[in-house]
Structure 1
Amino acid sequence: MNLGLINWFLSLSRIVKRLIMLSVDVLLIVAILISAFSMRLGEWFWPQGDLLYLIFLAPLIATPIFIKFGLYRAIVRYIGFKALWVIVQAVSLYALVWGVIVLLSGVQNVPRSVILINWMLAMLLIGGSRIVGRWYFSEKKSHITGTSDGRKNVLVYGAGSAGIQLATALSYSQELKPIAFIDDEPTLSNHQIMGMKVYSSSELDQLIISMNIEEV
């Protein structure tokens, strides 16, 4: 994936990016369940009959749970340990609900170990996909645009008096380097303050890539 494709993805609206993430999760959930059955049975498994309904029911269970836990609010590049703990909780609840439904449905030929395998694979792939995404974006940024003095580039949110004071303090930091301001006040947009340009928050995603921003 080159920088142009990354910039294209980041230029998409938040809604579109969230829909893409949701669609990837839906495909993963179905693939994970098929894999769980295949691993348990020791051969390739393709669901039929009631098992097919149970497998395609899984995304309908997972999606509202993931949305409720905010899995599509976190920007992949900023996912930290707190967000990963939320993913653990959301995936665990989904796997538990699906497992209970399977047990109560009375559908035959569903080994109970599939429920556990499904949980483990979902934890690995749903969480892992976000970790890989975070790593990839970070590596791609540092490879293409890295900082020159070793300090982390930061955007200051707010170009008012508080933001200016923060930017002034950061300018003396040995670890952080203020690059620009973010402010949605139309009268400030494109103005220069302390030698730094003021941008709208709608430009945030592109600025993160073009300026190699690591903190906001």
Structure 2
Amino acid sequence: MSLFAVLDYAAVLVFAITGALVASRAQLDIVGFAFLAGLTALGGGTLRDVLLDRTPFWIAEPAYLAVAGAAAVGVFFTAHLLESRYRALLWCDAFALAFAVVAGAGIARAEGAAGAIVVVMGNATGCFGGLMRDVVANEVPLVLKQGEPYATCALVGALTVLGAEALTGLSALSAVAGFAVTLGARVAGFRMGWRLPVYRPRPPRN
């Protein structure tokens, strides 16, 4: 199994946990847990594979479905033990984002995609599963919250993967660097309250 396949499995597992946590906050049944976990875990990677003209990863390897399903069941029976499910969601989402950005960028690179496409695929893999999760759960998506640097963290992480590989030629080193930068930026963002500038409307001039 390749390094980036392992990272895809890690992203699926942790993103599925976040989907199930959102389901727990919405007090859904076990089917709702499985649906949100699967949508979150598989959405970003599916978009990536369709755009890269690959067989979607969970169709090529159905074990990904089992991972997402197991995460949903596990959270269904244990979410009540958490002191703050939202805080757990933020932390799990940060790790999932880091895994997914690196996996998406690495897989695009392995497919021979140009640098700009590598960065876009890293962002798509990292951001779209959570976006789908939040839209379906009728919540403001984390990636679109006012001033939230979520997508910026994904962008910086994907650029790090690209730059580290260009400098070293080592995919493993670029994966570690991209993961560390994405996770570090995301955690620092919500721990320190970092925000991006937002548009402020001004009165029209006559």
Structure with the larger helix share: 2
TM bin, normalised by shorter chain, reads 0.3 to 0.5
The structure, 1 or 2, with the larger RCO (C-alpha pairs under 8 Å, 6+ apart) is 2
Structure with the larger strand share: 1
